[in-house]
Amino acid sequence: MEHRNRSRRRFLAEAGVAGAALLASPALMARPGSEKTSAVTAGADPFKLKYAPSIGMFRNMSGTDDPVENIKFIHDQGFRAVFDNGFPGRSVEEQNKIAAELTRLGMDFGPYVLYADFSTTSFVLSNQKVRDLIAEKMKAAVEISKRTGFKRALIVPGRYDESLHPDFQRSNVIDNLRYCAGFAEPEGITLVIEPLNRRDHPGLFLTGMPQAYQICDAVDSPSVKIIDDLYHQQISEGNLIPNIEACWDRIGAFHIGDNPGRNEPLTGEVNFKNIFKFIFDKGYQGVLCMEHGRSIAGKDGEMNVIKAYRECDVF
């Protein structure tokens, strides 16, 4: 009994030392209640991978809604990328300021949403109306690319058509993405198609990684790849690491979100540390967009997000 007590005391002592070391880490020294949290965390070591917070994810800690100031704060925490789904909806002036600041800091920019209409059958059809829509969207992507240098855009191919055989729909999606590639390839733009889970988004055509891989394989363009949303795919099919391996040559970006809850890593069932290590060991140089909420509100929640990524980045 005494031996067990000594072992338990030794374990608790060692755990206390480890916990103190973790809390003393420069990346985790922020005081969520302080007025100038960014000054405490400035100069944190870069993460191993390009985890990309959304612009505004840390608006409470940064103390502002200004996108440029948010980018500076994000860089100070050790992140080397950001993403902004609604980027095309910003003013040209604001887009240019964001691009200039990311260039100055040497940061990457994740895919913005170019097309994601969950209520319309579009890419599954073959008609002039769909081609006109695609041309309009792709011209906008080309203009953004030339002006900002941002060369990743996201496409959700829309709803399936219950009146049309699935094989015809798949062929139409392939043909329409080839049409997109005709605009994208000359400009070096990468379009990433996103499979979404049926529970949250019933009725959409694209739902799984094997399906997305088959489509990209048929399109056969360096400009058409997959964005692997780990939240959606954990719900749809699981088997995350084997599917990453199987689809590796067609993956252009990742979305991160734990399940259940779609919050930061360590809040659900996904083992992100193992996934991040696997991706890192594969030599991945791209962006992992932090497309999730926060399990805790306010500054404490924002600090908790940073801590979660610091913990998962230790491998």
Q: What gap in Å lies between CA 185 and CA 20, rounded to an integer?
A: 51
Cβ atoms of 194 and 220 closer than 8 Å: no
Bridging pattern class, strands 50-52 and 287-289: parallel
Listed residue (134, 129, 68, 77) closest to 101, CA to CA: 68
Contact predicate 96/137, CB 8 Å: no
* Catalytic hit among 101, 194, 264, 302: 194
Assess whether 194 carries a catalytic annotation: yes
Q: Is 143 a catalytic residue?
A: no
With 0-12 / 13-18 / 19 or more C-beta atoms within 10 angstroms meaning exposed / middle / buried, residue 158 is buried
Give the active site residue among 101, 264, 291, 302: 291
Which residues are marked as active site? 194, 291
